[in-house]
Structure 1
Amino acid sequence: MQLVLRLIINAFALWLAAYLVGAIELVSPEDEVGWKIIVLLAVAGVFTLVNALVKPIVKLLSLPLVILTLGLFLLVVNALMLMLTAAITEITDYGLRVDGFWAALVGGLIISLVNWGLGLLLGDEI
């Protein structure tokens, strides 16, 4: 249940980031709502896997920079995870497209804030 809830939260956060940041978009093969939801859930699944498998390693390796910048480097790590998700999903004709590092940084900040806010609302369930 926690994995499904985390997937839905990440899907909402990715949708919001794509909606608010013009350089981030979700590309679907058809312009129908059903396809967009399927693509959004697939991208959220990849994003969840990247955050679960790659992000802890990157955070550990960048620990001196995180300490030196008092945690602000974690925003860069979040941007890199979003860019990695986009690179993985660009293999297909649909998925997440991120145009540049600054868009990824703002998108990563939006995703982090949504995850934090919904995590506070839902408590220990996620």
Structure 2
Amino acid sequence: MRFFVGIIINAFAIWVVSLIDPLQVDVIAFPPGETLQLVLTLLVVGLIFALVNTIIGTVIKVLAFPLYILTLGLISLVINGFLLWFTAWVTTGWSWGLRVEDFWLGVVAAVVISLINWILGIILRPQRKR
């Protein structure tokens, strides 16, 4: 259940970031591009982003542990931007998906997505039974 709530939160955060014009992050909906197709596209992109963060992000964070120590954790901003850019790269083969125009603006977008995920995660994610 927590994973599905995380996908919905990711989809919402990506949608909010796509509304911020200077970040140059776009979501291209499934054809014909109506509201339902946009929501489905956001959910699929949220799923891909969650899988990329879970699988590739974990491996990169373990391997980059010395860089975390050297940069006092600031490398996490670049890693999160890379994971967002990688998610956009995965969906470039299709006519729909996420488009990130600039890597460094993608880093800023990843920071905004992380903040939205953190805030909504505190509010919406179900608590584990103790």
TM-score range, shorter chain: over 0.9
Aligned residues of 2:92 and 2:99 also touching (Cα < 8 A): yes
Matches within 5 A, 1:13-52: 13-22=13-22, 23-28=24-29, 29-52=31-54
SS at match of 1:31: coil
> How many percent identity over aligned positions?
39
Task: Map 1:1-126; keep pairs closer than 5 Å.
Answer: 1-22=1-22, 23-28=24-29, 29-122=31-124, 125=127
Question: Unaligned 5+ residue runs, structure 1?
Answer: none
Q: What amino acid maps onto 2:104 in structure 1?
A: W
Structure 2 stretches of 5 or more lacking a match? none
Q: SS at 2:93's partner residue?
A: coil
Structure 1 residues 113 and 21: CA distance shift in structure 2, 3 A: farther
| C-alpha separation in 2, matches of 1:123 and 1:32 | 29
* Secondary structure at the counterpart of residue 57 of structure 1: helix
**CA root-mean-square deviation:** 1.5
Read off the aligned partner of 2:122 and give its amino acid letter: L
Structure 2 length normalisation: TM-score? 0.90
